[in-house]
Structure 1
């Protein structure tokens, strides 16, 4: 299995690199990517960016904000955090099976001393009931990537100040605040791993995953970007991750809001209704899916804003592809209720 250790700390370029390598034939799945970021927030594909972040705090503290291709919730990262990605053939994994994909990382952490690390909920890795890793998944054209975070020595106060975590999400987890929900793994590691730079921590993790004694042995499997790769990555970055419209988009005016937090994620639907007709609709949330919710939005647009009409439209779709882990009947009940 090959890997790439990113040489940039800009989340936008790193996400563009991930997308490029997933869609090219430069590396054969399965392979892994590792990257370390300057302070940033990455919102999920279907989230309303301005409602997820403290925009003033982000601007004052030079926190980069961007949007990823995968679903899930917003994540704060800084130089005390390490990201990893697995890119695998889609038929090698069931979409949403985070435990299977991140198991090599969990096993490596166990060997490094974090023996209590477990995958829990739909996409978290925790120790002592506190989250130190969030993961998201995306699948297209026969390939799936699962990317996650590892909080080694993150400024946890910045996590709380930079993000707006909805109250219903906090309550659903039975906790009082985002600060009480997260932790760094540094104090759980064996003593020899507790005073590393992030680059050293990354390299130690690589050695554990590849089961080798020296980094030089693992580097036999390392991929290095070419000039051609970098040009293509820049194009993707300019089109998406550096693009204001992609990151923030335009939130439609709405006259009705329907929101509910499910075990499989939050759905927050906004409808702009005029003269009894749906003129615009936007479905936000931190849910995961293998299909684009824009399909549903397009189908509902210009339909009568009635239960019967909306049920008829939604009955034409396999909603399990759009909201993985959420009962389709409950989705319909929320949207048409």
Structure 2
């Protein structure tokens, strides 16, 4: 396994670096670590304007961007460490968060937080509270599985910066965003209580490689060339700092069909129906999918907004490709029942 510690503290550049490395060929898997100044990262399928408090984000200089992977919006600051495993993928790997979080979880146990566990679809929890959310993205036989690790994040900012859906909060059995999340620092062993974010990152890395000193694995550290840095600059400009990518274009709609599924997440379908036919359709939500859900939406344009015509189209696809763990029947019920 190779590793790369991103020097940037800008989430847009860090996500661009991750995307660039996903597209490269390596003989070994990669593990990436990155730390960033205050930012909000929305999932690929989310509506940015509905996920954030725009005024608060602007007045507090919080960077907003969108990632390639699905899942929900997260807030990061310099008290958070993000990690990403980049590797080849089989179909069975997508959605298998336990496989990719297990090495991180083991390292956290060794640092003293022995009660940390995997919970739900994609969370790491301790004492009934979330300290890590995870997401995946797959492209041409490769994938990355990335996640956050809240060591010492400013939890007071979360409820002010993010609008978290009421049904998502209620599904966790909690009353607010603030009461649902926690930092890891209080749960670490005394010897690690005063670690800086960078020192915490390095302790995790040493345990992933089973070494006592990072000097023992310098040959495993990835170094980027100038032309690679320039390619990453282009990705920042054209994607991660591009308002068109971040905000997208929310079409007008006449119907909203929204449900939350325990193993899938929230799916929010916005439909515009003209003369009985689907004229516009956009899917929002914190779901994951191996294929872009907008490709499915385009297949349904011009179809009569009735169960039988819709079923005929859905019979030609697998809903699970677009919404991981969702059946075709559940998708049909979402759209028309």
Deviations 1:259-313 (A, max 9, x none): 0011111100001112222111101111111111112111111222222222222
Unaligned runs of 5+ in 2: none
Q: Using the alignment, how far apart are the partners of 2:35 and 2:189 within structure 1?
A: 22
Q: Distance in 2 between matches of 1:204 and 1:218?
A: 13
Change (3 A) 1:186 1:93: farther
> Is the Cα–Cα contact under 8 Å of residues 307 and 332 in structure 2 kept in the other structure?
no
Please say if residues 273 and 305 of structure 1, whose CA atoms lie closer than 8 Å, have aligned partners that are also in contact: yes
Match of 2:294 in 1: 294
Kindly provide the CA deviation profile for residues 139-183 of structure 1, in whole angstroms up to 9, marking residues without a partner as x: 111111000000000001111111111001111111111111000
Segments of 4+ in structure 1 off by > 4 A?
Answer: none
Aligned equivalents of 1:154, 1:219: Cα separation in 2: 30
Cα deviation digits, residues 108-153 of structure 1 (max 9, x gap):
0111101011111000001111100000011111111000000000
* 1:175 aligned residue: 174
Residue equivalent to 1:236: 235
8 Å contact kept, 1:29–1:89: no
Is the Cα contact below 8 Å between 1:96 and 1:137 reproduced in 2? yes
Q: What is the aligned residue count? A: 336
2:290–2:322 Cα contact (<8 Å) kept? yes
Partner Cα separation in structure 2 for residue 28 and residue 60 of structure 1: 45
Q: Give 1:271's aligned residue.
A: 271
Secondary structure, in 3 states, of the residue corresponding to 2:156? Answer: helix
- After TM superposition, the structure 1 = structure 2 runs for residues 298-317 of structure 1, keeping only pairs within 5 Å, are 298-317=298-317
* Root-mean-square deviation over aligned CA pairs: 1.2
**Whole-Å separation in 1 of the counterparts to 2:115 and 2:328:** 35
Higher alpha-carbon deviation: 33-42 or 314-323: 314-323
What TM-score do you get using the length of structure 2 for normalisation? 0.97
How far residue 92 of structure 1 moved from its aligned partner, in angstroms, is 8.8
Are residue 323 (structure 1) and residue 323 (structure 2) matched? yes
SS in 2 for 1:233: helix
Please show how residues 60-209 of structure 1 align to structure 2 within 5 Å.
Answer: 60-91=59-90, 94-209=93-208
Q: Please give the per-residue CA displacement for 1:53-109, whole angstroms capped at 9, x wherever unaligned.
A: 111111011111111111111111000000000011103962111011111110101
- Give the 3-state SS of the residue equivalent to 2:145 in structure 1: strand
- Cα deviation for residue 17 of structure 1 reads 0.3
Shift of 1:196: 1.7
Bigger mean CA offset, 237-246 vs 149-158: 237-246
Contact 2:258 2:334 in 1 (8 A): yes
Contact kept in structure 2, 1:29 and 1:87, CA below 8 Å = no
Deviations 1:3-34 (A, max 9, x none): 00000011011001000001012x43411000
SS in structure 2 of the partner of residue 145 of structure 1: strand
| Structure 1 stretch displaced more, 251-260 or 198-207 | 198-207
